[in-house]
Amino acid sequence: MKRIQSYLFRQVFRSVIIIVGGLTLLAILAQGLSQTDIIIESRQSAFTYFYIVALGAPQVIALLTPLAVFVATIWSLNRLHRDNEIVVAGAAGMTRWDIASPVLRFAVMAALVHLAVNLWVQPTAQRLLRETIQDARADLATSLVRPGQFTTAGDGLTVYARDTQDGDLIGVLISDNRKTETESRDYLAQRGRFVEVDGVPSIIMWEGQIHQIDVNGALSILNFDQSTFDLSPFIENRAAVILKASDHYLHELLYIDTTSYQELNDQEAFLAEANARLTTPLVSIAMALIAVMAVLGGDFNRRGYSRRIVIATAGALLLVIVQLAVQSASRSSVGVNVAQWLVPLGTTAVLSFIFFNWRMKVPARKVGVTR
């Protein structure tokens, strides 16, 4: 009997891994398309793009896990039914609980993994994601310099570099045409490099000239071996990373920073997010029970359970929609957070009661082994 249960567990486990992997890949690819503008505008590398996409994976996995558990469970049990393996298991003396227990044990394991992702992996990944995106947008070297192209930054600054080599700019032109009461200047240099001088972003240039036109229109040329151009007037001050409720750890959601106006203003959203982190893993268990009920929760039918599977699928989708609606409503009303617990726990309790009290009618016949 344990061997049969282990076989059932492996079947469901393999199905869940395939389905979660497939759905997550599709979701990540769709999410990755929304980040292409950052990569194109900031001219980031392919590594940065895939790193950003990978950081979004935990949130996608957490969202898809309950649905994946349902699909994998119902697919595995229905396939076992088509192959008459459930009938054979029943003839061998296994009860419905013996058949369903490997599935439900796996659902509990999936819920625990889901909980770990919600509490630790997701907030860590979301913080890194926001920091990486901000760094990509603020990457001065890649945003200002496009080899062979004139790039405008701020009001009156144009930068050009013929090429880049080992971090150096080759054939540099900087045109400073800000509308001031002084003169405009053009810097031409054989070589340049982005640096920070006392924390100030700058470009150091070597072996070049400064073409300066004063307010009277007179041109003067100054040769230099090394010159530094201050970029700080053209760069917006980098703001601190603003974390949303989904980026915080559980203890930060439950015990907000009372000195932060943003957290005080979003206190209800923080509490709703905390409850959602704890309750969404319970949906996986309810989903597994819905799938089990579709195949094992009624009378035996040799022709299959298509009708029950359709009803179960509609019930599973309804459960997800209700849970999401309750989570959304709890962001504006603290009392609705109770419903975040009642929906999965109530569904699990009702289905468990029905499952354990239903007496399945199985046709009485002997099952022989054919060769």
**pLDDT at 365 exceeding the cut of 50:** no
Beta pairing, strands 157-165 & 200-213: unpaired
Averaging pLDDT over each range in 129-138, 196-205, 329-338, which range is the top one? 329-338
**pLDDT at 359 exceeding the cut of 70:** no
**pLDDT at 224 exceeding the cut of 90:** yes
Nearest-angstrom CA–CA distance, 143 and 16? 43
> What pLDDT was estimated at residue 295?
87
Closest C-alpha to 189, from 209, 175, 204: 209
Predicted confidence (pLDDT) per residue in 144-186, tens digit: 777 888 888 767 788 899 998 887 899 999 998 876 656 688 9
**pLDDT at 206 exceeding the cut of 70:** yes
Query: How confident is the prediction for the chain on average, in pLDDT?
Result: 83
Residue count of the chain, please give it.
Answer: 371
**pLDDT at 304 exceeding the cut of 70:** no
> What pLDDT was estimated at residue 267?
92
Q: Domain map of the chain by residue range?
A: 2-138+243-357, 144-234
Nearest-angstrom CA–CA distance, 325 and 30? 23
- Our measurement of the distance from residue 12's CA atom to the centroid of its chain's CA atoms, rounded to an integer in Å, reads 25
**pLDDT at 347 exceeding the cut of 90:** yes
365 token code pair: 């016949």
* Residue 138 pLDDT class (50, 70, 90 cuts): low
| 71 Cβ contact list (under 8 Å, min separation 6) | 15, 19
**pLDDT at 34 exceeding the cut of 90:** no
Cα–Cα distances (Å) from 135 to 39, 56, 228, 238, 320, in that order, read 11, 16, 24, 9, 36
Predicted confidence (pLDDT) per residue in 258-267, tens digit: 888 888 899 9
Q: 234 versus 18: which is more confidently predicted?
A: 18
If you average pLDDT over residues 53-81, what whole number do you get?
A: 87
If you average pLDDT over residues 225-231, what whole number do you get?
A: 90
> What pLDDT was estimated at residue 93?
80
Per the CB < 8 A criterion, the answer to whether 295 and 81 are in contact is yes
**pLDDT at 237 exceeding the cut of 60:** no
- pTM for the full predicted model: 0.75
Average the pLDDT over each of 53-57, 86-90, 352-356 and give the range with the smallest value. 86-90
* Residue 328 pLDDT class (50, 70, 90 cuts): very high
Per the CB < 8 A criterion, the answer to whether 89 and 97 are in contact is no
